[in-house]
Structure 1
């Protein structure tokens, strides 16, 4: 035996087995690819600017459309507004109806008219209306011997995003990131939890556990399995978080980075403690089974527990949601969402962490007790209640 602590050997083996598992590596790779696709693909649909062709009948109309193009390109370099000169109003109407142009701009008796095929002109109507207004204001100001700035002084309304000033983020982004946090913990808890349970039952089924238990104390075995899988889960989380943050810096969503960084700082300890609170119980669930086929029965209570927490965490509102965010394990799902939304005081996540630490101590003691009593039982699966009555091996 190595001079190292036995649990380090067990943890190292758990990590090595998982890192050489093609399914695990492919799953992690696909998760990262899907995450990058979710951030990058929308840019292909939103990145192209608007392109308009507008029929005009005179030089003034041509100048207005050209000025509109300059205005549009200040917002998006790919936008364009192209004037198409026609003979008269009748020709402009024909061009619109035949679909040769998007609309036509013609001078009326006292105002400009926009000719379109149907009532919906999209963004072109509002853009041209603003351009005509700006051009008319400039002409009127020049006639009155003043400036456009003087005429429009005090008429502008500026929108101030208070949430952004306070380091928050748009509500839709906060909800999406909170949902992603909750979803990741849910899947990590089930995937790595089942890995722990499956590792335990495979050793029982092959009778290797009898050799291991003779050489390594039972609690050292449990500690190695739990910590090995915790390192894997936490490492996968860190990798996905790093890819997300790097990806956001290349997108317009980088406005959410300040608030997101703080939320991730809180999410990491919640994730770690929440996972540890369940890991020993997953190991105990594996020890209750004698064959791989029995795992579904022995792990069902844990799976249902996580499903209920996940559904409740996403659907509760108001005071019920606030109370739920302090319940251990559920706090890993809900409290980070509240932090993202800016709905918490500093003491709230601190109190939730203290509560989950206490709960973690209880579940570790409970899981270790079950694990020690059921580990060498190989004659059929055990119920949770019956396992507690067995003598310690």
Structure 2
């Protein structure tokens, strides 16, 4: 006797079995910790306050160091410069060697020198170069009875970007790679687990008992939906942690645009994963032993790899075409939305095509699953499964 909620019982069983699997839990929270750690390090580095100690050994050098301090702290709002003055050059060098000062600012032959123990901090050097240049130019301009503005007139260098969305393009590539990897990992790990679950139940003959209570199609629906819920929850957890972490970095301005693209990715993920999950279930049903899954799932492994490579390397016209071709559109179209190269109507059209394709695949997969699940004579081919009577 079947019930209207039989598939729900199967789905709940799939979810509970995963949530009580320590390997699954440790791998999930391990990846969350890695993602949080990556963004945590970036946020720490971006917000880390720096303090440099500059020592001088003459009045002229000390006056110049004050200009360096002013420019450095204006250029870097989380950087402070502490000034000190020693009695002579030898004492200043000793302070740097002992680590009590980062650099020694002194006059050299025809200019100024920043001497460090093993290196000179890059941001301090850049600001010091600007401060010293401007100060010396002002002195030279006064000596020549002119002004700094007159000396600098016509020397300004400005920048212009032919691609005004360059930053967004880089961010789109990084986020697109992350989303493509999430889809690949979810499709492969949950799909392979689904196939193994099916073949284990088949090999132990427990499926023969289950199918006396519920139909094979309800069993398939429950397994696919259960794994879809788990994969979606895991993916959502990773994305949320990533977006929260991104908001604490210098790229926080991209969070609204990425959030919108994630909405499209979610819709495509659900449909695309559902399409592939039914095929993984068929791969398990075609097998009679766990060892057979490696053979029956080879085409699916190649498909998931092809989707990943298409997302990473497809470009130009090829990328546009693949964004409408199932199952590649499951990840390529959200990437185009993120890049800003696909309007909403193209995304909606690609999603509609993917839904239709998923519906057709599910119908075919359901027939193959139903006709091969209870066959235990050995590994079946697709032709054998299709022609086997119900």
Interval of TM-score (by shorter of Structure 1 and Structure 2):
0.7 to 0.9
Structure 1 residues 98 and 189: CA distance shift in structure 2, 3 A? closer
- Matched with 1:12 is 12
Counterpart contact for 1:73–1:80, Cα < 8 Å: yes
- Matched with 1:358 is 356
Counterpart contact for 1:196–1:225, Cα < 8 Å: yes
Instruction: State the shift of 1:52 in Å.
Output: 4.3
| Structure 1 residues 1-393: aligned runs within 5 Å | 5-45=5-45, 47-49=47-49, 51-74=51-74, 75-87=76-88, 104-106=104-106, 112-114=111-113, 116=115, 122-135=122-135, 169-392=167-390
Instruction: State the shift of 1:76 in Å.
Output: 4.0
* Partner-residue secondary structure (3-state), 1:376: coil
CA distance in 1, matches of 2:264, 2:55: 57
Moved more, 30-39 or 92-101: 92-101
CA distance in 1, matches of 2:82, 2:155: 28
Counterpart contact for 1:96–1:115, Cα < 8 Å: no
Counterpart contact for 1:65–1:83, Cα < 8 Å: no
Structure 1 residues 125 and 16: CA distance shift in structure 2, 3 A? closer
Counterpart contact for 2:191–2:277, Cα < 8 Å: yes
* Partner-residue secondary structure (3-state), 1:82: strand
Instruction: State the shift of 1:140 in Å.
Output: 8.7
Instruction: State the shift of 1:365 in Å.
Output: 0.9
* Partner-residue secondary structure (3-state), 2:41: helix
Q: Deviations over 1:226-279 (max 9, x none)?
A: 111111111111111122222222332312201111110111011111001111
CA distance in 2, matches of 1:268, 1:162: 33
Instruction: State the shift of 1:56 in Å.
Output: 3.1
Instruction: State the shift of 1:188 in Å.
Output: 0.3
CA distance in 2, matches of 1:124, 1:355: 56
Counterpart contact for 2:47–2:78, Cα < 8 Å: no
Q: Which runs of 5+ in 1 are unaligned?
A: none
Counterpart contact for 1:196–1:286, Cα < 8 Å: yes
Counterpart contact for 2:46–2:249, Cα < 8 Å: no
Instruction: State the shift of 1:102 in Å.
Output: 5.7
CA distance in 1, matches of 2:178, 2:143: 59
Structure 1 residues 192 and 108: CA distance shift in structure 2, 3 A? closer
CA distance in 2, matches of 1:254, 1:23: 33
Counterpart contact for 2:196–2:290, Cα < 8 Å: yes
TM-score by length of 1: 0.84
Instruction: State the shift of 1:375 in Å.
Output: 1.0
Instruction: State the shift of 1:153 in Å.
Output: 10
* Partner-residue secondary structure (3-state), 1:215: coil
Q: Which runs of 5+ in 2 are unaligned?
A: none
Structure 1 residues 94 and 8: CA distance shift in structure 2, 3 A? closer
TM-score by length of 2: 0.85
Counterpart contact for 1:288–1:382, Cα < 8 Å: yes
Structure 1 residues 182 and 337: CA distance shift in structure 2, 3 A? same
* Partner-residue secondary structure (3-state), 1:230: helix
* Partner-residue secondary structure (3-state), 1:338: helix
CA distance in 2, matches of 1:94, 1:11: 72
* Partner-residue secondary structure (3-state), 1:379: coil
* Partner-residue secondary structure (3-state), 1:290: coil
